Amino acid sequence: MTAPTGTVDLRGEPRRLRRELRVKRVFLAAAVVSIAISIAIVASLAGNAIRFFTEVDKASLLDVGWFPRRSRFDLLTPIAGTLVMSGIAMLVAAPLGLGAAIYLSEYARPRVRRLLKPVLEILAGIPSVVLGFFALLWIGPNIIVELLNSPKPATILTASIGVGILVTPLVASVSEDALRAVPQGLREASYGLGAKKSTTVRTVVVPAAVSGIMASLILGLSRAIGETMVTFMAAGAVGGALRTWDPLDSGTTLTAAIASVATGSDQVAGEALAFDGVFALGITLFAITLLLNWVSDRFVRRVREKY
Amino acid sequence: MASRSEAIDTAAIVRQSLHGRRFSPGGLAFELSLLVMLLVSLAVLVTLLADIISGALPVFRDRGIDFVTSGITLDSATAGVWTGLVGSVGIAIIVAVIAFPLGLGAAVYLEEYAPDNSLTRFIQTNIRNLAGVPSIVYGLLGLAVFVRLVDLIGLGGSASTGGRNILAAGITLAVLVLPIVIITASEALRAVPDTIREAGFGVGATRWEVVRHHVLPSAAPGVLTGTVLALARAFGETAPLLVIGVATGFFSAGSAGLFDRLTGPYTALPVVVLSWSRQADPAFKENLAPAAILVLLVVLFAANTAAVVLRNRYDRKW
Amino acid sequence: MLTKTWTALVLVLALIATACGGDDTSGEGDGGGGAGTIVISGSSTVEPISARNAQKFAELNPDVTISVEGPGTGDGFKKFCAGATDISGASRAIQDSESEDCAANGVDYVELNVAIDGLSVLTSINNTAVGCLDFKDLYALIGPESLGFDNWSQASALGSELGATHAPYPDAPLVITAPGEESGTYDTFVEFVIEDLAEERGQENAARLDYVASPNDNTIISGIAGSDTSLGWVGYAFFVENQDTVAALAVDDGESGCVEPTSESIADGSYPLSRPLFIYVNTSKAAAKQELVDYVDFYLSEDGLASVGETGYVALADYSETTGAWANR
């Protein structure tokens, strides 16, 4: 845009403009740090993971189980453990979280909602080591052994229930936000047509918020898959386990297997590749959660576009 | 005839629908099942808290504040959480020093300066993705990069510590919470209405002057709230610390100086919980670990309350 | 209003700073790259003794930073031989591959025998069906050929084939919880119980893959306590601490009959799974770090050796060999 002749130069003194540019560069640098972090994550995971995959005996990648210190690197074992664990965790968290969210958003009195919503948010911040402790010393002996009569207290199911409890407040909080975002007019229109409250909720409000609800479930699933401490403490055979799909077996997950090998050192006993194998698990985990985040992001964006 | 009676029926149905049946079993069952879900969620969490508090109570009844102010020992009668608390607070300070300026800077760039181009969108997507990366992956990053980096620049402590110190822990957790700081700070900046900026530009202020004197002060409560929540997250993290070599057993820093504390071995409150849950003496897992959890939860609760108060007290409605 | 926010923030930060600076007042740090630190890793069986001594030592030497962990003998030696620790606890002697590793990295060390442990084979206190097992029984139940057995009776055929004393076994669920491969306690068990028979029968020299392996001795104890006819093994001290939930089985090496682990039977060697516990000290670091020498001196003093009994292990009858080895490092 060229200024018409004769107007005053409003661009200000050069010193100020130079400072302006310097400041902008500083802020740009801060923003670019996040890209550097991503590159560092991918590079540090991929470096060791590639070394692992080139040097490992390919047959040991499909063995009977994940025993890194005995050169049995069955990747399917921790992946199966992760799928079973996060699946059951969501079976716990989805009904509890969604039920709580719908009740709070549609049925609860404003005062109850104002009281419980911050409670949920605070509960969503309970550190995972606390749930790990609870799973190991309460869920294991009381639910798994006493109630289900399993001989082993530390099983994948023990960890699953712990993780399910951990992500319930997250699912509840995020999907409650989505339900609240449904315009009031939609509800009123439904009542105006003579629909009952439960009909309105089931056929109008929940479908309108379905993108946000899906996003909350995917977010919860992603959190469950990436959760470490609960499985590390309560799943039993985290350092090495046979491949199993039975939740009442002791087992391991991607995260717990990483934690039990890489505790503070790249010096672990056994096979030289045991440590590099951890990065192979790490990059698998990274890829899964990245995919889930991408999907959840798509859902969230659809909500934004709608209203 | 037929058509007439039909019309009457329709009117009756409409009237009935408009009034609604007094008693709707389906609707009530639906509402009740939702309520049950909510109550079960709360009951589980109450059980969790009750289990922890009932285990912790004897410790606080017998020893009071002494439990908080004594260091880690092997005797259940004298062990306390002070060493872990100091480590966690130290980590939180380092996290704040690194993540706050970086996060705020990135947010200011994205909200105030960034043109709407593909680089900006890439940075934004990237930050959202980073926020969802599991914490243990940050641990692997810390082990592969930050521990070595700290050792390389001569702050790794003795050869036996080799960079597995509180500085590396602080950097790792700062990187972990950075996306949270950026996202919450961005939201706070976005909430400042454009009229404030336009008024500033209108009197000839540069962008930086507008940001510094008008936008940032208005957004400060939101930014601080986000930072406090991010620090609370860092305070409760355990898994990445395990990967980057936190001391998991007995640990005493005694009267070591500040430099030795920063470069030497360290431990943190959540790690104390973990290590006490595996002690042979049952008093540790039955009473002391719950007591340590209670201290952890009180700290986090205080931080969360501070954040909420900050938000409610100073947040301006535009 | 905003000034208030910032003032509040500064106040909070100042409070935190004073709170954590509180115990720095007597700070007399050696500075210079964090001298004054001792890092101890290795066996989780030896960890209680080293930790107790670390605590006693820290009371006498408050200026020393000292940390003790117990990831397992194997992982401990990996770190030790990379120069990443000063002392490594071991519930077995160093293996050739490990000492080559140390030599390759220029780590010189001295081996100090500090205590005797009786590797305890455990079951639930509710187990009335089994009271004693010999090595062949244990091989039939836990050895490489028992993969998939989740009931004691499934091992009966193998036990009879081996000529085990206590076969056939009861019809009861079999859940095994024990340390994993990073642990010296696992290595000792395999060496004592499985190695000879596995070699004879051309099997892998290892325990079955499908037992619950945990690095956490408490998880092992609760796993064993979890079912009435469970099986597992840990160091003697963890058994002693948990006698209200787990019971030790008597063990028969095939020669001297069933012997229960007690401090007497472990001390006189009549318990067949008795084994020495060691600490390995990095001697080049000891030459450079006075605090490391002080710590080991304390370890071998009367007060330090008292920790052996205090943590539930059995002291050597005579420590002159140990102190001699330390003096001649």
The whole domain housing A46 covers 14-55
Locate the chain C residue with the closest alpha carbon to B310. Answer: C5
Per-residue pLDDT, averaged over B263-267, amounts to: 90
Asked if A41 and A72 sit in the same domain, the reply is no
On whether residue C7 sits in a domain, the answer given is no
Asked if B245 and B271 sit in the same domain, the reply is yes
Asked if A202 and A245 sit in the same domain, the reply is yes
What number of CA atoms fall less than 13 Å from residue C99's CA on the CB side?
9
Asked if B214 and B293 sit in the same domain, the reply is yes
Locate the chain A residue with the closest alpha carbon to B99. Answer: A30
On whether residue A3 sits in a domain, the answer given is no
Rounded CA-CA distance A172/A184 in Å is: 20
* Alpha helix (H) residue ranges in chain A: 14-55, 76-102, 110-123, 128-134, 156-180, 184-192, 197-200, 206-208, 210-226, 229-234, 254-261, 274-306
Question: Choosing among A152, A261, A275, which should be mutated to test the C contact, i.e. which has the most C CBs within 10 A?
Answer: A152
Confidence grade of residue B318 (pLDDT, cut at 50, 70, 90): low
Asked if B47 and B107 sit in the same domain, the reply is no
All residues of chain B having their beta carbon less than 8 Å from the beta carbon of residue C49 are: none
| DSSP per residue, C128-166 | -S--EEEHHHHHHHHSGGGTT--BGGGGHHHHHHHT-TT
Asked if C292 and C208 sit in the same domain, the reply is no
Interface of B with C in 219-278 (CB under 8 A): 220-221, 224, 247-261, 263-265, 267, 277-278
What number of CA atoms fall less than 13 Å from residue B315's CA on the CB side?
16
Per-residue pLDDT, averaged over B252-279, amounts to: 88
On whether residue C139 sits in a domain, the answer given is yes
Rg (CA), chain A: 25
Rounded CA-CA distance C325/C322 in Å is: 5
Q: How far is C65 from chain B (nearest CA, A)?
A: 4
| A278 contacts B273? CB cut-off 8 A | no
The whole domain housing B213 covers 66-314
- Under a CB-based contact definition with an 8 Å cutoff, are residues B180 and B229 in contact? yes
| B220 contacts C5? CB cut-off 8 A | yes
Interface of B with C in 64-83 (CB under 8 A): 73-74, 82
Asked if C127 and C230 sit in the same domain, the reply is yes
Sign of CA dihedral A89, A95, A98, A99: negative
Question: Beta strand C120-124 with C246-248: parallel, antiparallel or unpaired?
Answer: antiparallel
| C223 contacts A152? CB cut-off 8 A | yes
pLDDT at A195 over 70: yes
Confidence grade of residue B92 (pLDDT, cut at 50, 70, 90): very high
Out of A64, A141, A239, closest to residue C215 by CB: A239
CATH of the domain at C76: 3.40.190.10
Long-range contacts, C302-305 (Cβ 8 Å, 24+):
C303/C56, C304/C53, C304/C56, C304/C57, C305/C114
DSSP label of C146:
G
> How far out from the chain centre does Cα C216 lie?
10
Asked if B56 and B161 sit in the same domain, the reply is no
Q: What is the ipTM of this complex?
A: 0.90
- For residue C6, what pLDDT is reported? 46
Asked if B32 and B158 sit in the same domain, the reply is no
Give the angle subtended at the CA of B69 by the CAs of B66 and B72, to the nearest 5°. 100
Out of A35, A99, A282, closest to residue B140 by CB: A282
Asked if C52 and C193 sit in the same domain, the reply is no
Asked if C293 and C184 sit in the same domain, the reply is no
Question: Choosing among B16, B36, B140, B189, which should be mutated to test the A contact, i.e. which has the most A CBs within 10 A?
Answer: B140
All residues of chain C having their beta carbon less than 8 Å from the beta carbon of residue B169 are: none
The count of domains in chain B is 2
Asked if B152 and B57 sit in the same domain, the reply is no
- For residue B315, what pLDDT is reported? 67
- For residue C19, what pLDDT is reported? 41
Residue C34: name the closest of B85, B242, B72, B154 by CA.
Answer: B154
A274 is written with which tokens?
A: 């045991």
Average pLDDT, chain A: 88
On whether residue A221 sits in a domain, the answer given is yes
Out of C79, C84, C209, closest to residue A65 by CB: C209
Rounded CA-CA distance C171/C154 in Å is: 8
Confidence grade of residue B19 (pLDDT, cut at 50, 70, 90): low
Asked if B236 and B132 sit in the same domain, the reply is yes
Least confident of A175-179, B13-17, B160-164, C168-172: B13-17
Confidence grade of residue C98 (pLDDT, cut at 50, 70, 90): very high
Asked if C48 and C192 sit in the same domain, the reply is no
User: Tell me, what amino acid is at B118?
Assistant: S
- Of B63, B83, B117, the residue that ends a domain is B63
All residues of chain A having their beta carbon less than 8 Å from the beta carbon of residue B141 are: 37, 40-41, 44-45
- Of C230, C248, C272, the residue that ends a domain is C272
| C222 contacts A269? CB cut-off 8 A | no
Beta-bridged to residue C232, according to DSSP, are: C122, C177
Confidence grade of residue C15 (pLDDT, cut at 50, 70, 90): very low
| C70 contacts B258? CB cut-off 8 A | no
On whether residue A1 sits in a domain, the answer given is no
pLDDT digits (tens, 9 = 90+) for C29-80: 333 333 588 999 999 889 999 999 999 999 999 889 999 998 889 999 999 9
Average pLDDT, chain B: 88
Rounded CA-CA distance B234/C144 in Å is: 44
Asked if A27 and A120 sit in the same domain, the reply is no
Specify the 3-state DSSP secondary structure of C247.
strand
All residues of chain B having their beta carbon less than 8 Å from the beta carbon of residue A296 are: 132
Asked if A35 and A136 sit in the same domain, the reply is no
- Highest-confidence range of A149-153, A294-298, C54-58, by mean pLDDT? C54-58
Residue B242: name the closest of C317, C141, A257, C287 by CA.
Answer: A257
On whether residue C29 sits in a domain, the answer given is no
Phi/psi for A270 (5° steps) reads: 95, -155
Peptide bond just before C71 cis, omega within 30 deg: no
Asked if C234 and C284 sit in the same domain, the reply is no
CB atoms under 10 Å from CB of C82, counted, come to 17
Q: How far is B109 from chain C (nearest CA, A)?
A: 22
pLDDT digits (tens, 9 = 90+) for C217-263: 878 888 898 888 999 999 998 898 889 889 999 999 888 889 999 99
Confidence grade of residue C81 (pLDDT, cut at 50, 70, 90): very high
Subunits touching B (CB < 8 Å, at least 3 pairs)? A, C
- For residue A151, what pLDDT is reported? 82
Asked if A146 and A201 sit in the same domain, the reply is yes
All residues of chain A having their beta carbon less than 8 Å from the beta carbon of residue C206 are: 70
| A172 contacts B41? CB cut-off 8 A | yes
On whether residue B59 sits in a domain, the answer given is yes
The count of domains in chain C is 2
Rounded CA-CA distance B294/A82 in Å is: 29
Q: How far is A262 from chain C (nearest CA, A)?
A: 10
On whether residue A218 sits in a domain, the answer given is yes
Give the angle subtended at the CA of A17 by the CAs of A14 and A20, to the nearest 5°. 155
- For residue C228, what pLDDT is reported? 87
CATH of the domain at B125: 1.10.3720.10
pLDDT digits (tens, 9 = 90+) for A92-132: 999 999 999 999 999 999 999 888 888 888 788 899 999 99
Rounded CA-CA distance C180/C191 in Å is: 14
pLDDT at A229 over 70: yes
| DSSP per residue, A156-167 | HHHHHHHHHHHH
All residues of chain B having their beta carbon less than 8 Å from the beta carbon of residue C33 are: 154, 157-158, 263
Q: Which residue matches tokens 């012997």?
A: C259
Rounded CA-CA distance C229/C122 in Å is: 10
- For residue B1, what pLDDT is reported? 42
Locate the chain C residue with the closest alpha carbon to B260. Answer: C34
- For residue C20, what pLDDT is reported? 43
| C66 contacts B250? CB cut-off 8 A | yes
Locate the chain C residue with the closest alpha carbon to A268. Answer: C75
On whether residue B1 sits in a domain, the answer given is no
Question: Choosing among B13, B36, B38, B187, which should be mutated to test the A contact, i.e. which has the most A CBs within 10 A?
Answer: B38
The count of domains in chain A is 2
Rounded CA-CA distance A180/A198 in Å is: 16
- Of C234, C252, C272, the residue that ends a domain is C272
DSSP label of A147:
I
- For residue A303, what pLDDT is reported? 65
Least confident of B40-44, B86-90, B153-157: B153-157
Rounded CA-CA distance B232/B301 in Å is: 9
Q: Which residue matches tokens 């890194």?
A: A68
- For residue A6, what pLDDT is reported? 55
> How far out from the chain centre does Cα B82 lie?
21
Least confident of A191-200, A210-219, A234-243, B9-18: B9-18
The whole domain housing C77 covers 37-116+276-327
Rounded CA-CA distance A287/C15 in Å is: 42
On whether residue B12 sits in a domain, the answer given is no
Q: Which residue matches tokens 């007497």?
A: C264
Asked if B81 and B195 sit in the same domain, the reply is yes
Between these two residues, C114 and A196, which has the higher pLDDT value?
C114
Q: How far is B87 from chain C (nearest CA, A)?
A: 9
Specify the 3-state DSSP secondary structure of B43.
helix
* Alpha helix (H) residue ranges in chain B: 2-19, 25-63, 66-69, 82-108, 118-131, 135-141, 147-152, 166-190, 194-202, 207-210, 216-236, 239-243, 258-263, 269-276, 282-283, 289-314
| A286 contacts B17? CB cut-off 8 A | no
Out of A34, A165, A263, closest to residue B242 by CB: A263
| C78 contacts A154? CB cut-off 8 A | no
Average pLDDT, chain C: 86
Residue B166: name the closest of B153, B156, B178, B176 by CA.
Answer: B156
Confidence grade of residue A239 (pLDDT, cut at 50, 70, 90): confident
